[in-house]
Structure formats: structure tokens, C-alpha cells
């Protein structure tokens, strides 16, 4: 089989390890690289040239519009023109035609990956994004294209007793997802400095589309730190909540594929908050919990909205504890947050504005762009919101098990510890080999 991997900075180090393993199995392995600083040491590597002057008309198809609206360079890093999207579109289309892969592995995060996904869909080529399934821990799924729909089956299964215990632990937030395990994610000072030097050099050599200039990055970080500081000025603690009907919206970190891509078109969180706000009735309040590690998601638009609606919106401070907050909440609204899975196992009413495997559960309501949240609020108040039985919770957990594989996807910087764990690497290698048999 001809397999293509798409470069994603430090994740490319993992792709390279998997690529070597697949070559041993007799597969033909290729790499497509946008950031030349992360070129792997393999034979079949296609480097995307850095853009020159645009030479073609810009055609804004729905697919291209989606990529543009999810692009972090245009959304966060101050890139003014989308010309580069169309430049890369031409180059990527040509390379996909040249390689003609049977299967593509990559993330669905950066614009060049999304352009590859668009090209693969057009040619009916399978594109898979290996990513944590969040629960159960130490597992990941291969997600189809730019969605949260898993592809393939490990067919792993828990005993009924273990499944019940795990479902209970997830629902009561006693089991944490992999991304909250900091034991193997610490970055040394040396690696931190080396990373800054590498990205800076790459920027000055021409990679200006996924990487802001050092000066721009400092300005961006400074701006959002001020936004966070402004939030904290009027934010309150959980102890200030009273006995009322509370809807919780937990902020999702941005930029992040989890919401910018998988949550599209609900990746503007200020608009999501405004949508919920518009459906609130008397004695209903929206509680906004910021991500403990807020990055760029607290926008000026969100701050303005919160300040203008003090009687309807309660802004929690960053130190607020979810465990303490949980008993006060009557309904949770999220785009694609991990909290949706926790709600299902705890029978906490939840609305999702993005789609995922969890939206098939009776006690998780998916709403599209045109649907009001008000009927859900009313059903919760009336006590008619669906409840999931213990047996169905077990069934859902077994589905999460069967559509996921053992192992944690590390990278060459942020999660390097998982790539240095030989047992974990063995699980990953076997998972990739197994998924290829399903394609």
C-alpha cells in the first residue's frame, strides 16, 4: 500500500517512527512537508515550496471557505491576505496526483492538512487523523478526514464489571483524560529554547503561515494576557452561585482543532455564548467557565458580551473548580468538549453544537445552526430530559473501546515521553498496522 504522512511540526517525529515500521511491512511510505524545518530523514519526501506571487483567480468554494475560517494564521496571527491558501491548494493538488496514495495519515489542524483532506475527499482517498479519544484513558481513535467520526475497530472490550466501574469514574470525574496527564508532558528549558530557535529560523526562511514572527507572537500573547486579566477583574468564584437554573458553557481552548475544525461553524465562542443568551428565559442564567489554561479564546467580543449582560451571564474565574461547580449546573452546552462524555456517564443534561460519537446517545442532544436551545431547557425544567440506563452507559463505553486503540500519540516536544516509552510505541505501531487492514 502507498501511504502518505502529512507533516505537522513535532508530530512528524512520530509519523517518521510509524513510517519506518510500515516500510518494514512492505508499504511504500511518502511524506508531504509544509514546514521545511521538520523534514523527516526518509527517502520519499515532497517539500511544498513557500509561496510566491499568486498566479490564479481565487475561487471561494464552500470547502475553501471552511479552511479559511478555521485557519489560525488568519484568525489569530495577523495574516491579512488568504492568497497563500490558493497557492498551496494548487501545489498540494499536484503532489496528491503525483503520489496517488492509497491512505493518508495526518492531523486536521493546520491549513495545509485541511487542503490535503479536501484533495483526498475529491479523489476518494481515505485520510485519518490519529488522536486521543479522551475516554477511556490511554487510547486513541483514527478520525475520518476533518471529523470526530472514528474509522476502524480494535474490537477491544472491557468486562461488564470494569465497564460499570469505568463509566462511574468518568461520570464522577474520578478518571481524567490523557491530555490532563502532565507526568510525561513537561518540556525542559533546553527543549523550550531549541524549539523557539527552530521556529524562528523556519519563519525567516519562509514559513510564515503557521508560524507568526517572534515579535508578532509576543504582541499576541501580551494582548490575550491582558484579556485574561480583564476577565479576572469581574469574574466570581463558585461560592457566589445561588439556587437558580444554571446553564454551563465551559470555554474550549483556542487555537485548537477540537473546536476550530471539528466544531466548525461554531468556532467563534462569543457567537456561541450569544446564541445561548438569546434563548434564556427568566430566572435562567448562563455560567461561563474559562479554560484553566486560557490561550486566545477570550476575545474582546466575548468580554463585551459578558459585561453588557451582568444579569444573565456569570463569568467564573480561572481558579474555579469543576468538581465544586458540578452540583449547581442544570444543563451543559458545549461545542465538542470532553465534558460531553462526562455528562453522558453522569446523566447531566448536555447539548452539543458539534457532532461526535457521543451525539448518538439519548442523553446528549445535538443541535444544528438553526435549532433553538429553548426546548431542551424546557425539557430539563420539566424533568423529561432523557436518562441513560446503566446498561446503555456500558454499551456506550464498549463502543468507545471498540472504536479506539491502545496507546498515546506523542510528539517530538510536548509529549516526548510517550515516544520514548517502548511499550507505548509498540501499541502505536500495532494499531497503525491493524488500521491499514481495515482500509
Amino acid 303: pLDDT: 98
Q: Which of 320, 253, 324, 255 is nearest to 293 (CA)?
A: 253
Proportion of the chain in helix, strand, coil states, percent, rounded to 5: 45, 15, 40
Amino acid 179: pLDDT: 67
| Series of mean pLDDT values for 10-residue runs along the chain (439 residues) | 97 98 97 98 96 82 96 93 94 98 98 98 98 94 97 96 96 79 70 93 94 93 96 96 95 95 95 97 96 95 96 96 96 97 98 96 95 97 97 98 96 90 96 93
Give the torsion through C-alpha atoms of 106, 109, 111, 117, to 10 deg.
40
Amino acid 364: pLDDT: 98
Amino acid 180: pLDDT: 65
CA distance 269 to 252: 8
Domains and CATH numbers, the chain: 2-180+406-438 (3.40.50), 230-397 (3.40.50.2000)
**Euclidean distance between the first and the last CA atom of the chain, given in angstroms as a whole number:** 10
Amino acid 308: pLDDT: 97
156 φ, ψ (degrees, to nearest 5): -70, 150
The grid coordinates of residue 421 equal: 516509552
Is-contact 134 178, C-beta < 8 A?
yes
pLDDT by residue (tens digit) across 312-323? 999 999 999 999
The grid coordinates of residue 15 equal: 509519523
Alpha helices in 268-388 (DSSP H): 269-278, 300-308, 322-325, 339-346, 374-382
CA distance 78 to 72: 9
Contacts of 257 (CB under 8 A, 6+ apart): 107, 108, 109
CA distance 248 to 340: 12
DSSP annotation of 293 reads: T
Amino acid 55: pLDDT: 67
Amino acid at each position: 500500500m502507498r501511504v502518505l504522512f502529512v507533516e505537522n511540526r513535532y508530530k512528524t517525529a512520530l509519523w517518521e517512527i510509524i513510517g519506518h515500521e510500515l516500510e518494514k511491512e512492505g508499504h511504500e511510505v511518502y511524506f508531504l512537508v509544509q514546514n521545511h524545518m521538520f523534514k523527516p530523514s526518509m527517502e520519499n519526501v515532497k517539500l511544498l515550496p513557500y509561496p510566491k506571487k499568486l498566479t490564479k483567480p481565487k475561487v471561494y468554494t464552500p470547502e475553501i471557505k471552511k479552511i479559511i475560517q478555521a485557519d489560525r494564521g488568519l484568525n489569530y496571527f495577523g495574516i491579512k491576505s488568504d492568497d497563500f491558501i490558493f497557492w498551496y491548494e494548487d501545489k498540494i493538488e499536484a503532489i496528491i496526483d503525483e503520489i496517488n496514495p492509497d491512505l493518508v495519515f495526518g492531523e486536521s489542524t493546520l491549513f495545509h492538512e485541511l487542503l490535503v483532506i479536501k484533495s483526498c475527499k475529491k479523489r476518494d482517498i481515505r485520510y485519518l487523523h490519529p488522536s486521543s479519544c479522551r475516554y477511556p484513558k490511554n487510547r486513541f481513535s483514527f478520525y475520518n478526514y476533518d471529523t470526530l467520526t472514528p474509522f476502524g475497530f480494535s474490537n477491544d472490550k472491557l468486562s461488564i464489571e470494569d465497564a460499570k466501574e469505568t463509566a462511574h469514574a468518568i461520570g464522577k470525574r474520578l478518571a481524567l483524560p490523557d491530555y490532563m496527564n502532565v507526568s510525561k508532558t513537561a518540556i525542559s528549558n533546553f527543549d523550550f529554547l531549541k524549539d523557539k530557535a527552530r521556529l524562528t529560523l523556519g519563519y525567516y526562511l519562509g514559513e510564515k503561515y503557521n508560524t507568526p514572527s517572534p515579535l508578532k507572537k509576543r504582541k499576541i500573547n501580551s494582548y490575550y494576557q491582558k484579556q485574561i486579566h480583564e476577565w479576572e477583574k469581574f469574574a466570581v468564584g463558585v461560592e457566589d452561585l445561588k439556587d437558580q437554573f444554571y446553564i454551563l458553557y465551559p470555554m474550549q481552548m483556542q487555537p485548537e482543532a477540537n473546536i476550530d475544525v471539528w466544531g466548525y461553524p461554531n468556532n467563534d465562542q462569543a457567537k456561541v455564548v450569544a446564541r445561548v443568551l438569546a434563548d434564556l428565559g427568566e430566572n435562567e442564567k448562563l455560567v461561563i467557565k474559562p479554560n484553566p489554561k486560557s490561550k486566545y479564546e477570550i476575545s474582546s467580543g466575548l468580554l463585551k458580551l459578558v459585561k453588557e449582560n451582568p444579569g444573565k451571564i456569570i463569568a467564573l474565574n480561572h481558579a474555579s473548580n469543576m468538581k465544586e461547580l458540578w452540583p449547581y449546573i442544570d444543563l451543559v452546552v458545549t461545542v465538542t468538549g470532553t465534558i460531553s462524555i462526562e455528562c453522558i456517564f453522569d446523566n447531566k443534561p448536555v447539548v452539543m453544537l458539534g457532532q461526535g460519537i457521543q451525539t448518538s446517545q439519548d442523553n446528549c442532544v445535538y443541535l444544528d445552526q438553526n435549532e433553538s436551545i429553548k426546548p431542551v431547557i424546557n425539557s430539563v425544567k420539566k424533568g423529561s430530559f432523557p436518562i441513560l440506563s446503566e446498561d446503555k452507559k456500558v454499551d456506550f463505553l464498549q463502543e468507545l473501546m471498540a472504536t479506539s486503540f491502545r496507546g498515546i500519540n506523542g510528539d517530538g516536544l510536548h509529549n516526548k515521553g510517550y515516544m520514548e516509552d517502548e511499550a507505548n510505541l509498540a501499541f502505536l505501531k500495532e494499531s497503525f498496522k491493524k488500521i491499514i487492514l481495515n482500509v
